[in-house]
């Protein structure tokens, strides 16, 4: 029975092991990604016991990447993409060139053939979509200037890798691969390049001209049916269908096809609902992505080639980061933006593995070099959340933007979150004359706050004690946590309760489970939106308003 159902065994085994090791990692205050990767190592062929189907796991992971890029596209307009082209295009090109050159230098030092060094360096140059976007989403940076630059940079890298994956078989003969032959001619190479660029251009044009109108229209028509199930199915069908069609008809990557599908769907007023419908599947398959990476990892390479793995890690974490930081600063962006982009790119992932697999099949990359690449990828993915934690602390310490009298403010209400709910809460507090200080990390919201001289604010992550100190939580009369994410809100509640055991804390929730979660972390009062709405509707029925004035 087990052999007859490898798909079910892979999904169940991957998710169960990911949960177990993810929970252990969280308990040990390590990134949960570490737990997912360890789960993959345990389920992989290089450790005893249960072995999952690595091929199926990779295909399931690809679904997660498709849905993730689709979700990003929903929140990313063409205007956003074009607004950062001046820095993303040259920045990604130069950074990839630097990383590829460093990889080739390492290969030359080790005596590798030039072709192997080139493929190895190219694989080191491109960041993981999943890792980068997860870090951005956790910090609510996707809609900020830093997030737009990072996503634009990522799209340029994806386009470059699409071209590389198509051209590599064609230039394999020139590079000394095993499949050299008649195709190894300048004419054939130029024809392949032209054909590839033409198909990508045709796909983009088709999406901008036809997709921009057709996709929102279909979404609106399905929504009018009133069936939530049909709406969810339509969203998934368009996301996966366009990604699949882009890959097979235009030789565009699944990820890029899904991104453009999401971007075109973002033109619809129902884009927010579409994003919410895809969120559970996106998260589940993203977990399988990290499990699949762990399954590829051969721990023996750490014993056999420790110094080479270390050198590859330094290229990824230090070489790429320094290059990205220098490029972003050269464009006049602030240090915070440069450090965020540099940290985001200090890892490699899915495209690197695809390129490495193709390189091995073409005889351009040895299996030992592939194992070194995988080991370096695992280490970089494990270290990346730690680098972001360091960056968060640096920003909280050096970039917190508080009014001159901020630390001396007392008897005030601290409001965390300046989103749709936060804005309404602030308006009510100001209407009754309550002095309020807002804590916000989103750059667009901060820009709006800066344009309002009446509002006092602190820029930073409210879950960080240093930021709460800047807001003088010790002298505050109350704390309102208006962020929508219950886990993010829970972190803020826990940090605030540790600093002020007696402080009244009000938080928002979307379900009874969230109410229990926030209560357990120390919230004094949790507002459950649907419950409050039900009370208001009931009160309106019990005591109707006489609009005629009688």
Burial letters 257-289, b for 16+ CB under 10 A, else e: bbbbbbbbbbbbebbebbbebbeebbebbbbbb
Q: Which residue has the tokens 């999401």?
A: 262
Buried (b) or exposed (e) across 81-118, using 16+ Cβ within 10 A?
A: beebeebbeebbeebbebbbbbbbebbeebebbebbbb
Q: Which residue is listed with tokens 């991104």? A: 259
Residue 160's Cβ-count burial label (10 Å; 0-12, 13-18, 19+) is middle
DSSP code for 272:
H
What pLDDT was estimated at residue 406?
Answer: 44
Q: Would you give per-residue pLDDT tens digits along the chain (550 residues)?
A: 445 578 888 888 889 999 999 899 888 877 787 888 889 888 888 888 778 887 888 788 788 778 877 877 776 667 777 778 889 889 999 999 999 999 999 999 999 998 899 999 999 999 987 788 778 877 777 767 788 888 889 888 877 887 787 777 766 666 655 554 444 566 666 777 788 788 888 988 898 888 888 888 988 888 888 788 888 898 889 988 998 888 888 877 787 788 888 888 877 777 777 777 777 787 788 888 888 888 888 888 888 889 999 999 999 999 999 999 999 999 888 888 899 999 999 998 777 887 888 888 888 888 889 889 988 988 898 898 889 888 888 877 765 444 444 445 778 899 998 888 888 888 888 888 888 899 887 766 777 777 776 778 887 778 777 778 878 888 889 999 988 877 788 888 988 888 888 999 999 888 787 888 888 888 888 888 777 777 778 777 776 554 445 4
Start-to-end C-alpha separation, the chain? 75
In contact, 473 and 447? CB cutoff 8 Å = no
Q: Which DSSP letter does residue 474 get?
A: G
**Count of residues in the chain:** 550
> φ and ψ at 439, to 5 degrees?
-110, 125
- Measured from the Cβ of residue 397, the count of other Cβ atoms closer than 10 Å reads 13
pLDDT at 411: 84
Structural domains present in the chain: 6-398 (1.20.1530.20), 406-542 (3.40.50.720)
Considering the entire predicted model, what is its pTM?
0.68
- Strand bridging mode 456-459 / 478-481: unpaired
């Amino acid at each position: 029975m087990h052999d007859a159902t490898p798909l079910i065994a892979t999904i169940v085994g991957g998710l169960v092991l990911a949960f177990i090791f993810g929970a252990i990692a969280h308990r040990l205050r390590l990134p949960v990604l570490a737990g997912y990767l360890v789960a993959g190592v345990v389920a992989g062929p290089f450790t005893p016991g249960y072995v999952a189907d690595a091929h199926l796991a990779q295909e399931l992971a690809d679904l997660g990447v498709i849905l993730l890029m689709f979700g990003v596209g929903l929140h990313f307009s063409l205007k956003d993409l074009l607004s950062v082209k001046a820095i993303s295009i040259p920045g990604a090109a130069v950074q990839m060139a630097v990383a590829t050159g460093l990889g080739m230098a390492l290969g030359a030092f080790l005596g590798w053939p030039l072709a192997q060094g080139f493929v190895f360096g190219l694989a080191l140059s491109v960041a993981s979509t999943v890792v980068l976007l997860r870090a951005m989403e956790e910090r609510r940076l996707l809609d900020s200037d830093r997030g737009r630059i990072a996503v634009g940079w990522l799209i340029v890298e994806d386009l470059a890798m699409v071209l590389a994956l198509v051209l590599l078989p064609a230039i394999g003969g020139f590079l000394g691969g095993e499949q050299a032959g008649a195709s190894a001619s300048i004419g054939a190479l130029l024809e392949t390049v032209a054909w590839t660029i033409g198909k990508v251009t045709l796909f983009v044009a088709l999406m901008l001209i036809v997709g921009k109108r057709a996709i929102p229209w279909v979404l609106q028509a399905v929504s009018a049916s009133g069936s939530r199930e049909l709406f969810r199915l339509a969203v998934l069908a368009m996301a996966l269908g366009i990604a699949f069609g882009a890959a097979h008809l235009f030789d565009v990557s699944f990820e890029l096809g899904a991104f453009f599908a999401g971007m075109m769907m973002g033109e619809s007023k129902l884009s927010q609902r579409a994003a919410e419908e895809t969120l559970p599947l996106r998260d589940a398959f993203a977990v399988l992505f990290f499990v699949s990476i762990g399954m590829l990892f051969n721990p023996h390479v750490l014993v056999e080639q420790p110094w080479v793995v270390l050198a590859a890690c330094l290229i990824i974490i230090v070489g790429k980061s320094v290059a990205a930081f220098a490029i972003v600063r050269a464009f006049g962006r602030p240090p915070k933006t440069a450090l965020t982009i540099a940290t985001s790119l200090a890892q490699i992932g899915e495209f690197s593995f695809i390129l490495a697999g193709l390189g091995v099949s073409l005889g351009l990359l040895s299996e030992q070099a592939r194992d070194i690449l995988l080991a370096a990828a695992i280490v970089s993915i494990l270290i990346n959340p730690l680098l972001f934690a360091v960056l968060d602390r640096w920003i909280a310490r050096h970039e917190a933007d508080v009014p001159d009298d901020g630390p001396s403010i007392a008897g005030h209400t601290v409001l965390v979150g300046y989103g749709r709910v936060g804005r309404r809460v602030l308006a009510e507090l100001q209407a009754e004359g309550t002095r309020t200080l807002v804590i916000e990390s989103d750059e667009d919201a901060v820009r709006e706050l800066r344009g309002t001289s009446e509002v006092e604010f602190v820029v930073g992550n409210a879950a960080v004690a240093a930021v709460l100190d800047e807001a003088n939580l010790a002298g505050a009369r109350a704390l309102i946590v208006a962020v929508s994410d219950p886990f993010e809100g829970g972190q803020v509640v826990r940090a605030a309760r540790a600093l002020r055991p007696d402080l009244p804390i009000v938080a928002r929730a979307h379900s009874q489970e969230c109410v229990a979660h926030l209560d357990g972390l120390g919230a004094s009062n949790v507002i459950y939106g649907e419950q409050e709405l039900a009370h208001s509707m009931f009160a309106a029925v019990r005591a109707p308003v006489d609009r005629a004035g009688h």
